[in-house]
Structure 1
Amino acid sequence: MTQVLVRFTSLVLVILVALLWGTVPVRAAERERIEAFLATTGFDVALDSIAFASSSAPDMLGIDPGEFGAEWKRLTEEVFDTGEMRELAVTILEQTLSDDALTHAVEFYASALGQRLVEAENASHMIEDDEAKQLEGQAIIAELVKKGSGRVESLKRMNRAIDSDGTALRALQEIQIRFLLAASAAGVIDLQLDADELRALMKQNEAALRGALQLSALAGAAYTYKGFSDAEIEAYADALEQPLMQEVYELLNAVQYEIMADRFEALAVRMAGLQPVQDI
């Protein structure tokens, strides 16, 4: 087990303990400040964008969403209710996010540069056509590479800082595994593999998937921050690399991944009434 998985698992355990027992760490931020924090940093919009991930659910199960008609849209809107997802995030963060980390993040994102960054990030999060965004971002990167621009490395620095422990790959794998197992348990699919076998199968393609995620993140960053100067990108990378900001993003990533996994499991259960059993 790698250090990445250990740290991510530890954060999830902290979240679960906080939810089950209601324990509040010393100087944990109060609810009103957490809600303001979400709005100031744009994490509220990032949570809302989780709903777009529901479009990948049928592909994971080998199902054509067209078979569901309007019921699919209704179902995903109910399961990925933005109000419920925000409420869960607030509940977790008010018991896990320290005052120091909250204050540090809010001070940066409330600045003139910070608010412009949040505006750009919010707009990018709410674009449903991710393919178009990726294509434009890839074109931007290609042009930067052609010019020998140092901006590419700055964008990579930003992405490394946002996911400093590299948890994204393992988290997405676990989300998919939990979804497949939940779908199998609900009778949506006839899954022939157990959890360990699924992990072993994903391990075989891990290197390729990691590379694809890095390229996707780079193209996404190129698109999102295309309106910012090289100096502003450098300043943002510097800010993201600060220890307290690292603490914030480590927790936000864990919260976002846990909410996504929870919603996909709920979706699997609800799909039982819509989809006949299929082999995978």
Structure 2
Amino acid sequence: MVRTETGGEGSDRDHVQSLERGLALLLAFDAEHPDPTLAELAQLTGYSRPAVRRFLITLERLGYVTAHGGRWSLTPRVLLIGQHYTESHALIAVAQPHLLAIAEQTGESSSLAVLDGGEVAYVARVPVRRIMSINVQVGTRVPAHATSMGRVLLAWAPADVVDDVLTRYPPRALTSQTTTDPVALRDALHEVRAQGYAVVSGELEPGLLSGAVPVRDRSGTVVAALASSTSSGRASEQVMRLETVPLLLRAADRISTELGFRSPVRRSTAYEGFY
């Protein structure tokens, strides 16, 4: 359901189909189709060629796409959309120095992600080593069910959100270790919420080990997951739980505090020396 200007849920008549199609056209450009032809875009989106042509001309006049030899490509102007997101979310600015500190102290990559449908989207990241076969950067999306960040975000999400995600995006096997049974996944989410963090090994891709903790806003709502990732060849799950997770918890507390959250119960100081 779309939102109206007042923030309420709108009816079907409030839905602007041409805007939806224009955005879908922009999203059709990706690593596999960096400079598609009009015909290819029509096939990718399912829209008619005349409609695609009109959208492309409009987007070209606005400066978001450019034509060259019968092919189309995005222009740097599209980066402004992501820039506006970054600049309008205090969370990212607040988290950045903490991500850097985590990366410096662990020697591993640190990330901040939010839930978007059945995926987690990276909104901030400090890379150290390339430990994943996919190219992880800000904007990268990965399945929520197979990641520590996704487990954290789902663990504190409302029940209806979890139900919707598991229904619309059934867990699929990405490796031989991926949890795909919905009941087992729900049990894992309960465990994450009970212990306050998630550690996932080898479920997104073989050898990838990651830990994540929740970040809260002023109201106490979990708005992001803070994570550190490494290779199972460089660290064990025990090391992740005993050393890295306490560091993440401390950093998440600081980020949440800077966002205005005041915890009624202070965490144990057992891990304060890590950060």
Give me the TM-score of the superposition, normalised by structure 2: 0.30
More strand by share: 2
* Bigger-Rg structure (1/2): 2
Between 1 and 2, higher relative CO (CA 8 Å, sep ≥ 6) is seen in 1
Give the helix-richer structure, 1 or 2.
Answer: 1
TM-score of the two chains, using structure 1 as the length reference: 0.30
